[in-house]
Structure 1
Amino acid sequence: MIGAIIGDIVGSPYESGWMNKENFELFRKNSVFTDDTVLTVAVADAILSGVEYEDKIREYANQYRGRRFGKRFKKWLEFQVKNDSFGNGSAMRVSPIGFAFKREDKVLEEAEKSAACSHNHPEAIKGAKAIALSVYMAKNGYSKEEIRSRITDQFGYDINRNVDEIRPDYFFDSTCKGSVGEAIVAFLDSKDYEDAIRKAVSLGGDADTLACMAGGIAQAYYKKIPEYILDEAWERISSTFCDIIEKFHEAYKIGY
């Protein structure tokens, strides 16, 4: 879970930019947590407390309204209207589910529930399931090729590519269809946690969310995040968030 949050923070200064390189400054003065972190913590809190996902998502989003929420999400939040969005907001926040639940069918069921309350479009639900299942498989020792094969077969994402092939023609895309597969590729191409988030951010576009999705899977797979990265990240997260993150990692025995 902290791996997803770090990805959000690292990617935040580069959102909507044309990065096109992996050798960039990992933390800048304006490296901050955004809506990706807020809602990832909300999902984790919902799991820990047994409260409905929608209730926690609304609670956290209302408390942190200035953290770059999308227009359609804000409309859903304010007017409580049905939202059939296919944006990647459903997938950016789902990593705690892949970490917490012990059965694959339960992971997929909970991923759908967490998505559907605010992103009730088949593409958004599919994206959330794909990221949650990737985290689950990575956590449980599946190989990268097993993850690649399963996500391709079950969800149809084109992840038989590499980052160098994607990067030249990639552009800002905040839909699940245009970002979930790319984030998974960034993880699959990586050699360690830091490399995964660098590759995700290097694609440009919706960099914080790409790195958030890739970072969650990478934490689950590599099970180790460098101390200097953790130290920088903790300094940029509110104490309330830190408490929930630590409780979540302890409750589900998640290494980082």
Structure 2
Amino acid sequence: MLGAIAGDIIGSVYEKRNIKRKDFSPLFHPQARITDDTVCIVAVADSLVQEVPPALSLQKWCRKYEHVGGWGQRFALWFMDDEPRAYGSWGNGGAMRVSPAALLARDFDEAVNLAALVTSVTHDHPEGMRGAQAVAVAIWRALQDEPAHLIRAELSTRYGYDLSPTVDEIRPSYRHSEAAQHSVPQALICALEASSYEDAIRNAISIGGDSDTIAAIAGSVAEARFGLPAAIAEQAWNFLDQDMRAVLTRLYLAHAAIGPTSLRLPQNCNPHDNVGAMSVRIVN
């Protein structure tokens, strides 16, 4: 999802230098860039659209964009291994990359199952799986116009997350953690408390921690809730290479074919040129 990728790009400069405030400017810092998170999101999207095994797609894309850097050591060893096996990760990487699974799900059960499919190849620890499935459920429910308070209640009941703190309560003491159980709930709160897509991203950056990944997770849920503003979509699109644009174009077209309520790229968005992208919430 372009909303997750935009969150990754915006958060890329703040992971190592947290700012703990919402009023940073500009939204896209001059040093912003795609990170390993964007590469993994595109890889999952390509896997599902092309019906390629997730491990093969992740290895292909991560090897191609190895120069992006930022890879966790165990994940880097995994994607370079000729016989990769899940390594019991409880990190937030599964939750960060899961959004395409929610976009292509035709019902609730499929959202959960696709999330498990694309996550279990690496993050097969219960916490890693729980985080990814919780994010997929939040996105899928938001696409059905489920109100935020009901999504919050369902995630708390189904996955045991404490989603009662506010962003303002989280911010002062929150510290960097790549553990799913210590970052996914916070990212979900940032998205579910927000009043707009941009507000969700500013919430995510403001709490500090693993900023690019938290913003990617929050951005994926916020896009499903609010859509993605044209100006933000265009800026994020312009960071992407043509091969990434082509994958996202196919993803949104496949998603749009599923049902009347969808997120879409406009028809004039050409993955082979520099035209900006716009993701629009269509509700019939």
TM-score (norm 1): 0.97
Q: Secondary structure at the match of 2:12?
A: helix
Given that residues 135 and 216 in structure 1 are in contact (C-alpha distance below 8 angstroms), is that contact kept between their aligned partners in structure 2? Answer: yes
**Offset, 1:161:** 1.2
**Offset, 1:78:** 2.5
Given that residues 16 and 172 in structure 1 are in contact (C-alpha distance below 8 angstroms), is that contact kept between their aligned partners in structure 2? Answer: no
Q: Secondary structure at the match of 1:147?
A: helix
Equivalent residue, structure 1, for 2:15: 15
Q: 2:240 aligns with which of 237, 245, 253?
A: 237
Equivalent residue, structure 2, for 1:69: 71
Q: Which amino acid aligns with 1:232?
A: Q
Q: Which amino acid aligns with 1:244?
A: V
Residue 2, structure 1, aligned to residue 5, structure 2: no
TM-score (norm 2): 0.87
CA deviation profile, 1:137-167 (whole Å, cap 9, x unmatched): 0011111011000000000111111100000
Which deviates more, 68-77 or 87-96?
68-77
How many positions carry a matched residue from both structures?
255
**Offset, 1:187:** 0.6
CA deviation profile, 1:183-229 (whole Å, cap 9, x unmatched): 00001111000000110011111000001000011111112x22221
Given that residues 16 and 204 in structure 1 are in contact (C-alpha distance below 8 angstroms), is that contact kept between their aligned partners in structure 2? Answer: no
Q: Secondary structure at the match of 1:220?
A: helix
| Inter-CA distance 228–86: structure 2 relative to 1 (3 Å threshold) | same
The 5 Å alignment of 1:130-145 reads 130-145=134-149
Fraction of identical pairs, as percent: 35
Given that residues 92 and 184 in structure 2 are in contact (C-alpha distance below 8 angstroms), is that contact kept between their aligned partners in structure 1? Answer: yes
Q: Secondary structure at the match of 2:182?
A: coil
Tell which structure's C-alpha radius of gyration is larger: 2
| Inter-CA distance 138–10: structure 2 relative to 1 (3 Å threshold) | same
The 5 Å alignment of 1:215-234 reads 215-223=219-227, 225-234=228-237
Q: 2:119 aligns with which of 115, 122, 132?
A: 115
**Offset, 1:30:** 1.5
Give, in whole Å, the separation in 2 of the partners of 1:200 and 1:7. Answer: 9
Given that residues 200 and 218 in structure 2 are in contact (C-alpha distance below 8 angstroms), is that contact kept between their aligned partners in structure 1? Answer: yes
The 5 Å alignment of 1:1-256 reads 1-25=1-25, 26-67=27-68, 68-79=70-81, 80-223=84-227, 225-253=228-256, 254-255=263-264, 256=279
Give, in whole Å, the separation in 2 of the partners of 1:128 and 1:91. Answer: 4
Give, in whole Å, the separation in 2 of the partners of 1:139 and 1:119. Answer: 25
Q: Which amino acid aligns with 2:115?
A: A
Q: Secondary structure at the match of 1:14?
A: coil
Given that residues 75 and 81 in structure 1 are in contact (C-alpha distance below 8 angstroms), is that contact kept between their aligned partners in structure 2? Answer: no
**Offset, 1:66:** 2.6
Q: Which amino acid aligns with 1:101?
A: A
**Offset, 1:233:** 1.0
Tell me which of the two structures has the higher relative contact order, counting C-alpha pairs closer than 8 angstroms and 6 or more residues apart. 1
Give, in whole Å, the separation in 1 of the partners of 2:113 and 2:132. Answer: 10
Give, in whole Å, the separation in 2 of the partners of 1:19 and 1:39. Answer: 26
Given that residues 97 and 132 in structure 1 are in contact (C-alpha distance below 8 angstroms), is that contact kept between their aligned partners in structure 2? Answer: yes
Give, in whole Å, the separation in 2 of the partners of 1:163 and 1:55. Answer: 38
CA deviation profile, 1:15-44 (whole Å, cap 9, x unmatched): 132211001121122111111111111111
Give, in whole Å, the separation in 1 of the partners of 2:46 and 2:170. Answer: 35
RMSD of the alignment, in Å? 1.1
**Offset, 1:61:** 0.8
**Offset, 1:81:** 4.7
